[in-house]
Structure 1
Amino acid sequence: MSQIRVGISGWRYAPWRKDFYPVGLPQARELAFASRAVNSIEINGSFYSLQTPERYANWRDDTPDDFVFSVKAPRYITHVRRLKEIEEPMANFFASGLLDLGDKLGPILWQFPPSMKFDEERFAHFLQLLPASWTAAGRCARQCAEGLKHNRIPRPNGRSRLRHAVEVRHDSFLCDAFINLLRKHKVALVVADTAGKWPYIEELTSDFLYLRLHGDAELYSSGYTPAALQRWAKRIEKWSHGGQPADAHRVIKRAPTPRKSRDIYCYFDNDLKVRAPYDARRLLDSLGLDKGLQTEPGVAPAMEL
């Protein structure tokens, strides 16, 4: 059975208050509310700066037992260093506390800037550095800078694998060499809906698929119509059963390794006009995954917040 996770990218947005979030809900309880309206959230604060073990632990404890986070990797690695001399920055990221999410740690997202072109040698080195297991992540974290060595590295929790996903925004990545690299390392290629601004690719390169829905017609702001959400629901169902839509936007001729199922992680990032949480709720409903979730945005769930 595949696992389908649908949620939002981030949760702390001022326009969401008194709209998606109920009037009077303390800011400190927004994650507790949001995590009961969707079944996954993409942490994006980690993109801008390293977080702390205490913060990750608090996020873990504020969410339901079966909840899953994805974590956006630091832009310092992807945008500033542009994958050059990243061994220590990568160690610092894994030492910063994301492993404290424990069983709630889902995929790690690596997003690259529109100005970054595909460099096969550089990307091959980057993919080789990515820790593919919980144990490898711990080994990587121990190579961190001196100022982070006081952070406790959690012991392996029995999970054998860490998942990684890559989001690219330059046409030079539309090539066989890039797709083959991702397949070799079992790293997912993000299906990014960007209102036509950046490449849209639906290649299957791992045993899971990662979707980022940034806006149907207008980047970061426009919502998704019922018809558009139904289209996404059908594609997700096809992917989750191991298939590929007949009209998929592909780059490489060679078909992916056949699978009976694939896990799906889908995040709405059209947050500027308070679209994301409502679109996520509607997609969960279309997929029949809204059972047990808080169903009335703007109304406190039946729990003590």
Structure 2
Amino acid sequence: MTTKGTIRTGTAGWVFEPWRGTFFPEGLVQKKELHHASRHLTSIEINATFRANQKPASFAKWAGETPDGFQFSIKGPQLVTHIKRLKDCAPALANFFASGPLALGDRLGPFIWQLPPNLAFDAASFETFLNLLPQDVDAYLRLAAAADGVKQPPYLEPNGVTLIRHAIEMRHPSFDDPSVDALLRQHNIARVIADTPDNPRRDLTADFAYCRLQGPARPDAAGYESADIADLAKTMAGWREAGHDCYAYFVHEDKLHAPANAMALAQELGVRAYS
């Protein structure tokens, strides 16, 4: 009998001034916003890691403000994806993994690698990058232990983490290639599902799904409507029944309504927030 997967829905980040007085109650102090968000959403992408490596204390603090069952995804650093453009990035990866994501403990979800739109598929560099990504905790710790030139000792405490997952958002059309999917499946890495008119595909390349929802995939759509939410829920329910976990984040330009969309999708799927 197949074990059902777990679906988590949320947003990219939790600090957004227009949410104050809409998603966040009037008068809620900023330091309580993550506490509030994590009782209404079931996952959030950490985007601060894209700009700079964070500290173990920050990851531990974020974990401590969220309920059991909640998970964060972590965006990989721009140094790897946008500056080095996946080449010669082993030292940068080591320093990133050593910076403390494991301090999230059981709040740690997948790592998300967002490639720049002008980065075209190069088979050699892409496969080399995939080979560098740790697929389990032991490989993670080996890579993190190689960190060099960092201001603090590498954080090498597994902290109960047992699963390491990765998803990649590829935004150049050259990645729409069967050989890319074959490589992703070989490494159990999820191709990010964007749900846009230009990229409507919902193919899974891993044992879990990762959605950064930027659509809906209808021409001239202004935002997600109830029918779009119902359509997404139908697809994700199928993944869940097949045993696939799913992480679904609303990251489209209509950011004001992202929390409401995430909560509506959860309700459609019968997913309850953690408390």
Q: TM-score, normalised by structure 2?
A: 0.93
Aligned counterpart, 2:157: 154
CA distance change for structure 1 residues 273 and 129 in 2, over 3 Å: closer, same or farther? closer
Q: Using the TM superposition, give the Cα deviation of residue 290 of structure 1 relative to its aligned residue in structure 2, in angstroms.
A: 2.8
The correspondence for 2:269, drawn from 276, 281, 287, is 287
Q: Is the 8 A contact 1:68 1:104 kept in 2?
A: yes
The reply to whether residue 216 of structure 1 matches residue 198 of structure 2 is: no
- Indicate whether 1:191 and 2:193 are aligned: yes
Deviation of residue 75 (structure 1)? 1.3
User: Any residues of structure 2 matched to 1:13-162 within 5 Å, and which?
Assistant: 13-155=16-158, 157=160, 159=162, 161-162=163-164
In structure 1, the gaps of 5 or more residues are 243-260, 294-305
Letter paired with 1:129: L
- Contact 2:49/2:75 (CA < 8 Å) preserved in 1? yes
Cα-to-partner distance string for 1:100-119 (whole Å, 9 max, x where unaligned): 10111011101111101111
Counterpart contact for 1:222–1:273, Cα < 8 Å: no
Question: For residues 110-169 of structure 1, what are the alpha-carbon distances to aligned partners after superposition, in whole Å with 9 as ceiling and x for unaligned?
Answer: 11111011111111100000000112111111111222442432136261x311001111
Matched length: 271
Match of 1:266 among 229, 239, 248: 248
State the distance in 1 between where 2:261 and 2:161 align: 35
In structure 2, distance between residues paired with 1:118 and 1:68: 31
* Compared CA separation, residues 87 and 273, structure 1 to 2 (3 A): closer
Q: Which runs of 5+ in 2 are unaligned?
A: none
Equivalent in the alignment of 2:206 = 206
Structure 2 Cα separation of the partners of residues 99 and 32 of structure 1: 20
Please give the secondary structure, in 2, of the residue aligned with 1:192: coil
Once the two structures are TM-superposed, the CA of residue 215 in structure 1 deviates from its matched residue by 3.6
2:154 paired with 1:172: no
> 2-side partners of 1:237 and 1:175: how far apart?
27
Report if the CA contact (8 A) 1:6-1:265 is conserved. Answer: yes
**In 1: Cα distance, 2:41 partner to 2:124 partner:** 39
> Structure 1 3/273 Cα, relative in aligned 2: closer, same or farther at 3 Å?
closer
Output the TM-score relative to the length of structure 1: 0.84
Separation in 2 of the partners of 1:292 and 1:103? Answer: 14
CA change 1:24–1:271 in 2 (3 A) is: farther
CA 1:102–1:158: 2 relative to 1, 3 Å: closer
Q: Bigger CA drift: 145-154 or 163-172?
A: 145-154
Aligned CA distance change for structure 1 residues 217 and 123 (closer, same or farther; 3 Å):
closer
Which residue identity does 1:268 align to in structure 2? F
For the residue of structure 1 that corresponds to 2:15, the secondary structure is coil
SS of match in other structure, 1:92: helix
AA paired with 1:27? Answer: Q
| Structure 1 range deviating more: 135-144 or 104-113 | 135-144
SS at match of 2:87: coil
What's the offset of the Cα at 1:291?
5.8
- Helix, strand or coil at the partner of 1:147: coil
- Superposition map of 1:238-277 within 5 A: 238-242=238-242, 261-270=243-252, 272-277=254-259
Q: Contact 2:102 / 2:159 at 8 angstroms: preserved in 1?
A: no
